[in-house]
Amino acid sequence: MNFEHVIFGNLLAREDYGRRVIPFLKSEYFQDRTDRILFELIESYVHKFNKFPTTETLLIDLGSKSGVDQDTHDSVLSSIRELTHVERTEKFCQEKAVYNGIMKSIQILDDKDDKHTKEAIPKILSDALAVSFDMSIGHNFLDDAQSRYEFYHRKETRVPFSLEYFNNITKGGLPNKTLSVCLAGTGVGKSLFMCHCASGNLLDGKNVLYITMEMAEERIAERIDANLLDVTVDELAVMPYESFQKKIAKVKNKTTGKLIIKEYPTSSAGSANFRHLLNELKLKKNFTPDVIYIDYINICASSRIKYTANVNSYTYVKAIAEEIRGLAVEFNVPIITATQTTRSGYSNSDVDLTDTSESFGLPATADFMFALINSEELEALSQLMVKQLKNRFNDPARNKRFVIGVDRTKMRLYDVDESAQDLMDDKPIMDKSEFGERDSDFFKKRSKFGSKKMDGFA
């Protein structure tokens, strides 16, 4: 008994099986004429009555079908059995679809198909490869309430930060399949932030992939060394090899994770290159990252759009962001990257989403976005201010602004005392300075109403 007959038998015997596979079966998958006729009868009956036929109803339809002799009629019905397997049926459909797609493509290349041109071949093969028994066609709000409740109470896997406030605003860290973006001006600390977080992830036993297109691999490794070994960058250059090895050995004993740093030339690599890298790392080094850092997103290349004079930066950077986020979903990891502020944003003491350089499509695509803000006052205190700009994990109004400590000599960030969190209101830093207070008073005096009370108002 061939497998085609097993499929037919279960289409008649098992409605659950039939409803799962009938949308994906096509008469062209069956090369034998009798098999093709039988499938057409079953398909026609299902489309007409929205239920599957019995042997009796099939006999009636078969008897009224023109062009079918009695021998074909008898041989088809005698072959029906009640043994089958859904996965085997899916594989059967996939293999037949690919085979038919390849044969059709060959006919097109040999100029034996008058209906299609060579440009149709990619779509034909793509449709063939897309055959899948995916029954998910949406969430039934009332019937699927239990699964929704379980989702609400399921503890989601997250990659935590080594900074308390970042864990507070993200409910414990970054979930998988997300894109997070650090916005800051040149020299403020985008790479420092990512290197610090990568170091913390490594100590937590996570596998970390750091992709750099701005600095050399060695410079990124130097920053991470300074952070993990608790030495300054300058001390690394004069440290004896024996001391260096001892410190590295201590780090190895603290973690089971791995850190891979990969350098690409600026604007030469995109999601397709990163996908290839991930597959190569898994194959050659058995390395699967728990978190990925990309330094930084604006100097990546799009895998879909070629950057020319006709492509504007909004479209191009948005395409890159969508591809990178798609990569996060595909490999089930959080991806953290960075972007520059605009020229006006560089001097802005209260950076906002509108200060994102090149493309507003980037914050539109990101799941979590925050700004690192520096000023002379903060620099004197060895601090950076963090401002939430977009947060799909929590309410961005909670802890909208907070400060973290920074040790630039050791490329390290740290939590500060609660007493230092005086910036957690909506008043910009500039207004807290002496200049800002004088400036604010000046404009209050120059305002239309000034400090005088209007008649009729208290």
Which token pair is 452? 């005088």
pLDDT band at 454 (very low <50, low <70, confident <90, very high): very low
What's the pLDDT tens digit per position in 247-299?
999 999 999 999 999 999 998 899 999 999 999 999 888 999 999 999 989 99
- pLDDT-based confidence at residue 411 (cuts at 50, 70, 90): very high
Q: Is the dihedral of CA 432, 436, 437, 443 positive or negative?
A: negative
**Token pair listed for 402:** 């907070």
Question: Which amino acid type is present at position 244?
Answer: F
Q: How would residue 364 be classed by pLDDT, with cut points 50, 70 and 90?
A: very high
| Cα distance between residue 257 and residue 209, in whole Å | 11
When pLDDT is cut at 50, 70 and 90, the band that residue 446 belongs to is: very low
Q: How far is CA 154 from the centre of its chain?
A: 20
How confident is the model over 164-189, as a mean pLDDT?
94
Span 139-163, average pLDDT: 87
Q: Which residues of 63-78 are buried (b: 16+ CB within 10 A; e: fewer)?
A: eeeeebeeebbeebee
- 3-129 to CATH, choices 3.40.50.720, 1.10.510.10, 1.10.3720.10, 1.10.860.10: 1.10.860.10
Asked if 106 and 118 count as a contact pair (C-beta separation under 8 A), the reply is no
CB atoms within 10 A of CB 2: 9
Which pLDDT score, from 0 to 100, does residue 136 have?
Answer: 61
Section 6-35 average pLDDT: 76
C-alpha span between 10 and 88 (Å, rounded): 13
Instruction: Quote the pLDDT of residue 230.
Output: 93
- How far, in Å, CA of 53 to CA of 61, rounded? 10
Which whole number is the average pLDDT over 17-40? 79
pLDDT of residue 81: 39
Q: Does the pLDDT of residue 188 top 60, yes or no?
A: yes
Residues 301 and 311: their CA atoms lie apart, in Å, by: 13
Separation between Cα atoms, residue 53 and residue 72, nearest integer Å: 18
Lookup: tokens for 374: 């520096």
Whether cis (ω within 30° of 0) applies to the bond prior to 296 is: yes
Tokens 């009224």 sit at which residue?
64
Query: Quick one: angle between helices 217-229 and 190-203, nearest 10?
Result: 60
The band of 80, judged by pLDDT with boundaries at 50, 70 and 90, is very low
Q: State yes or no: pLDDT of 92 exceeds 90.
A: no
CA–CA separation, 413 vs 186, rounded Å? 18
Q: At 137, is the pLDDT very low, low, confident or very high (cuts 50, 70, 90)? A: low
Q: How far is 11 from 81, CA to CA, in rounded Å?
A: 10
- In this structure, of 293-297, 386-390, 418-422, the range with the lowest mean pLDDT score is 418-422
Is the predicted pLDDT of residue 15 greater than 50, yes or no?
A: yes
Domains of the chain: which residue ranges?
3-129, 158-439
Q: How do residues 290-334 score in pLDDT, each as one tens digit?
A: 999 999 899 999 988 887 767 888 889 999 999 999 999 999 999
Sequence letter at residue 87: E
pLDDT at 22: 80
Does the pLDDT of residue 224 top 90, yes or no? Answer: yes
Percent of the chain with pLDDT over 90: 44
Among the ranges given (5-14, 116-125, 347-356, 410-419), the one the predictor scored with the smallest mean pLDDT: 5-14
Domain 158-439 grouped into CATH 3.40.640.10: no
Torsion over CA: 416, 419, 425, 429 (sign) = negative
